[in-house]
C-alpha cells in the first residue's frame, strides 16, 4: 500500500465568525500554531503515510505556505470553487504510485494515530472506510424551541475523517458528480464503505468554543506523553571480502565484516536502540544466531521488525542517530545514501535520520582496524 493523505483546507470557514484575524479556522492559531500545522503533523508522524497533499483556498494558496512554514514537508494544490472540485483537484495531484488515499478535514487537528491506523487496516479488505461514532444522546425534533417528536438514534452515526479509499474507486466516484462528502460519492458510485471506530477527541473546529476544548485536549496529551529513549551498540570484526554493508548500503572495501547475518553493524545498533526504547530485548532474542534461517539474512528484516513492533505498541519513532566508529572505510561519501535507505525501510522522513562517523584516534580495536563499532540512539513517542 502507498497511502497518501489529502488534507482539504480550501474552505472559507465563515461559520466560525470573526476572531479578529480575518482568517479561516484552519489557519487560526491553536496552542500557538496554525490549526493546519497540527493537522499535517498527525499524518506526518504516522509511519504508514507516504505523502501529504494539502488543497489550499482557490484565492489564497499562500495561506497554506505560511501556516506550514515550520511544519512537515507537503505538496500544496490550489483548490476549486466547491469542496468536491477541491478534492478532485487534490486527487489529480497525488503521487503516481499512490494506491490509497485518506481524505481529511484541515480543521480536524486532533486525529489520533490509532484512528488513522484503523481506517488503513479496514482498507486492506474494503474499497472504502471511514471513522464514525454511534449517536448516544437522545434525539428530538423541534420547531420554534419546542420538542415536537422523539427521533430514534438507532443506526445513526456521527461521521468523522479521514475517509479512506482505494485510489481508483474514489477517482471513479468523483468523475460521477457532486455530493457533500466523499463517502456519499463513493456509495453513490456503488462502493461499500466500512465504518471504523472514531474518537471523541477527533473534533472538527467549527465554533470558537471548539478551540478552547481542543487546547484542553492538546494539554492533556502533552501531560500524558510517553517519551522513550533507547540506545544500541554493536561490533563486527573484519574478515575476508571486498565490501562491507553499512546502514543498508554496500561500500566497496578491501575487507568484509564477519557475522551471522550480513553484519550490518550500523543497522544492528539502530535496531537495538528501538528494542531498547520499547524494553523489548535485543536482536539476538528476536532473531537467535543459533537459528539457521537468519544466516546471511539482510538486516532490513530486523530493523523492519523493530519498527513494526514500535507501531504495534502505539509508538512513533521521531528520530534515529547512528554513529559508525572506524578508521576505514570513509563513511562521509555514503552517509546520504545510508540515511535515505534507513528512511525507506523505516518509512520515516530522511530528516529524522542521522548517520555520522568518527574514528577512535587509532586507539583500541577500531583504531587498529580490526573491526567496526556502532552506537545508536532512537527516540520514540506515544501520545
SS3 labels along 121-184: HHHCCCCEEEEEEECCCCEEEEECCEEEEEECCCCCEEECCCEEEEHHHHHHHHHCCCCCCHHH
Based on CB atoms, which residue is closest to Mg ion, 165 or 275? Answer: 275
The dihedral built from the CA positions of residue 242, 355, 375 and 301, taken in this order, carries a sign that is negative
Closest CA to 322 of 252, 255, 372, 250: 372
In angstroms, what is the minimal distance from the CB of 185 to Mg ion? 51
CA–CA separation, 360 vs 363, rounded Å? 6
Told to check if 300 binds Mg ion by CB under 5 A, we report no
Per-residue string for binding with Mg ion, 129-158, x by CB under 5 A?
A: ------------------------------
Report how far apart, in Å, the C-alpha atoms of 99 and of each of 127, 138, 171, 185, 363 are.
Answer: 11, 40, 11, 19, 52
Based on CB atoms, which residue is closest to Mg ion, 25 or 268? Answer: 268
SS3 labels along 231-245: EEEEEEEEECCCEEE
In angstroms, what is the minimal distance from the CB of 184 to Mg ion? 53
Nearest position to Mg ion, beta carbon: 268
In angstroms, what is the minimal distance from the CB of 247 to Mg ion? 13
In angstroms, what is the minimal distance from the CB of 256 to Mg ion? 14
Based on CB atoms, which residue is closest to Mg ion, 76 or 303? Answer: 303
CA–CA separation, 167 vs 351, rounded Å? 28
In angstroms, what is the minimal distance from the CB of 260 to Mg ion? 8
Per CB under 5 A, contacts with Mg ion among 252-281 are 268
In angstroms, what is the minimal distance from the CB of 89 to Mg ion? 49
Based on CB atoms, which residue is closest to Mg ion, 34 or 266? Answer: 266
In angstroms, what is the minimal distance from the CB of 228 to Mg ion? 22
Instruction: Check if the beta carbon of residue 2 is closer than 8 Å to that of residue 123.
Output: no
Based on CB atoms, which residue is closest to Mg ion, 100 or 236? Answer: 236
Based on CB atoms, which residue is closest to Mg ion, 118 or 236? Answer: 236
DSSP code, position 368: T
Give the interface size with Mg ion as a residue count (CB under 5 A).
2
Instruction: Tell me how far the alpha carbon of residue 222 is from its chain's centroid.
Output: 19
Instruction: Check if the beta carbon of residue 159 is closer than 8 Å to that of residue 197.
Output: no
Based on CB atoms, which residue is closest to Mg ion, 89 or 320? Answer: 320
How many C-beta neighbours within 10 Å does residue 219 have?
Answer: 11
Closest CA to 199 of 278, 281, 75, 110: 110
In angstroms, what is the minimal distance from the CB of 265 to Mg ion? 6
Per CB under 5 A, contacts with Mg ion among 191-250 are 234
Based on CB atoms, which residue is closest to Mg ion, 116 or 257? Answer: 257
Beta-carbon contacts of 207 under 8 Å, excluding residues fewer than 6 positions away, are 15, 16
Residues in the site for Mg ion, rule: CB under 5 A? 234, 268
Amino acid at each position: 500500500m502507498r497511502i497518501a493523505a489529502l488534507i482539504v483546507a480550501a474552505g472559507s470557514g465563515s461559520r466560525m465568525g470573526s476572531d479578529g484575524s480575518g482568517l479561516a479556522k484552519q489557519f487560526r492559531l491553536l496552542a500557538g500554531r496554525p490549526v493546519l500545522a497540527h493537522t499535517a503533523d498527525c499524518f506526518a508522524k504516522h509511519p504508514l503515510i507516504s505523502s501529504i497533499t494539502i488543497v489550499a483556498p482557490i484565492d489564497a494558496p499562500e495561506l497554506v505556505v505560511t501556516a506550514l512554514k515550520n511544519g512537515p514537508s507537503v505538496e500544496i494544490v490550489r483548490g476549486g470553487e466547491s469542496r468536491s472540485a477541491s478534492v478532485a483537484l487534490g486527487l489529480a495531484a497525488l503521487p503516481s504510485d499512490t494506491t490509497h488515499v485518506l481524505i481529511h478535514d484541515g480543521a480536524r487537528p486532533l486525529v489520533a494515530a490509532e484512528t488513522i491506523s484503523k481506517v488503513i487496516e479496514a482498507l486492506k479488505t474494503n474499497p472504502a472506510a471511514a471513522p464514525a461514532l454511534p449517536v448516544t444522546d437522545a434525539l428530538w425534533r423541534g420547531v420554534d424551541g419546542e420538542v415536537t417528536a422523539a427521533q430514534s438514534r438507532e443506526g445513526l452515526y456521527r461521521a468523522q475523517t479521514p475517509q479512506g479509499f482505494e485510489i481508483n474507486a474514489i477517482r471513479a466516484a468523483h468523475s460521477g458528480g457532486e455530493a457533500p462528502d466523499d463517502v456519499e460519492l463513493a456509495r453513490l458510485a456503488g462502493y461499500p464503505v466500512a465504518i471504523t471506530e472514531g474518537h471523541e477527541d477527533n473534533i472538527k473546529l467549527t465554533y470558537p468554543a471548539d478551540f478552547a476544548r481542543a487546547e484542553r485536549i492538546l494539554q492533556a496529551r502533552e501531560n500524558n506523553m510517553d517519551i522513550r529513549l533507547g540506545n544500541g551498540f554493536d561490533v563486527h570484526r573484519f574478515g575476508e571480502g571486498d565490501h562491507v554493508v553499512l546502514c543498508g548500503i554496500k561500500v566497496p572495501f578491501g575487507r568484509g565484516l564477519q557475522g551471522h547475518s550480513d553484519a550490518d553493524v550500523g543497522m544492528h545498533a539502530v535496531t537495538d536502540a528501538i528494542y531498547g526504547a520499547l524494553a523489548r530485548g535485543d536482536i539476538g532474542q528476536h532473531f537467535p544466531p543459533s537459528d539457521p534461517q537468519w544466516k546471511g539474512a539482510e538486516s532490513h528484516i530486523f530493523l523492519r521488525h523493530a519498527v513494526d513492533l514500535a507501531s504495534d505498541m502505539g509508538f512513533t519513532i521521531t528520530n534515529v542517530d547512528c554513529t559508525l566508529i572506524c578508521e576505514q572505510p570513509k563513511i562521509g561519501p555514503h552517509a546520504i545514501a545510508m540515511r535515505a535507505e534507513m528512511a525507506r525501510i523505516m518509512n520515516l522522513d530522511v530528516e529524522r535520520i542521522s548517520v555520522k562517523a568518527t574514528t577512535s584516534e587509532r586507539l583500541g580495536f577500531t583504531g587498529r582496524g580490526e573491526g567496526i563499532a556502532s552506537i545508536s540512539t532512537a527516540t520514540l513517542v506515544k501520545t
